Amino acid sequence: MAATPATHTIPVAGGEVSALLLRPAPARAILVFGHGAGAGMRHPFIEAVSLGLARIGIATLRYQFPYMEKGKSRTDSPALATATVRAACALARAEAPGLPLVAGGKSFGGRMTSTAQADEPLAGVRGLVFFGFPLHPPKRPGSTRAEHLSRIKVPMLFLQGTRDDLADLGLIRSVTASLGALATLHVVEGGDHSFAVLKRSGRTAEEVLTELAVTTAAWVDRLP
């Protein structure tokens, strides 16, 4: 397995952002992996999931959104964020030709990927993976952020914790049910928005990370 990711840069809107490609040998698919709103591609969670996927044959391309690359706290406009998603997917296709391609990310990264896909299908992308879809702000349940999902025509995997304060479990169940056969919901018992579990659950962080990686890989293997 590739232990050290290869560094890349991605041109976006007159500038560029950093990316990390972790490709195991052999690899059977690649995930373009966007980060959450408050942490970049080197966040321990994203790194741990990427390593877990690599151990079971799934490559990852992690990348920065422009605001994070510049050290800013305010997220990019949807237009710039979705342009970044498209550029990252293009790099993945170029670096891993022939590998099945999926895209998604943690929270904001996943939502910007789905927004891009809903606006215009991402070339070559067979499915979307959401590590905690941010359905609504904390303590403000709603599903307007999911309205664009009905325009997506590729399979989607939703990995959601039962304690996620950005995705009421009843609401996310309703959203995924409305999407029919294209949506798969995997519930992580006791997980919050970052998939952290309470000590009294009897589960370790490593066990949860393994669950996320194994579930994602199994879903990717079933894609048409």
Domains of the chain by start residue, with CATH:
6-221 (3.40.50.1820)
| Burial class of residue 137 in the structure, from the number of CB atoms within 10 Å of its CB (0-12 exposed, 13-18 middle, 19+ buried) | exposed
Q: What are phi and psi of 180, to 5 degrees?
A: 70, -145
The residue written with tokens 């990019």 in the block is: 76
User: Which pLDDT score is estimated for 193?
Assistant: 97
pLDDT of residue 202: 87
Query: Which residues have CB under 8 Å from 212's CB, separation 6+?
Result: 49, 52, 131, 159, 188, 195
CB 21 within 8 A of CB 95: yes
Which one-letter DSSP state was computed for residue 131? E
Question: Phi and psi (nearest 5°) for 22?
Answer: -110, 110
Asked if 155 and 123 touch (Cβ cutoff 8 Å), the reply is no
pLDDT at position 115: 98
CA–CA separation, 160 and 190 (whole Å): 10
Positions of the chain with pLDDT lower than 70, given as ranges: 1-3
CA distance 30 to 129: 12
Which residue, among 90, 83, 137, has the nearest Cα to 113 in the 3D structure?
A: 83
Query: In this predicted structure, what is the pLDDT of residue 1?
Result: 55
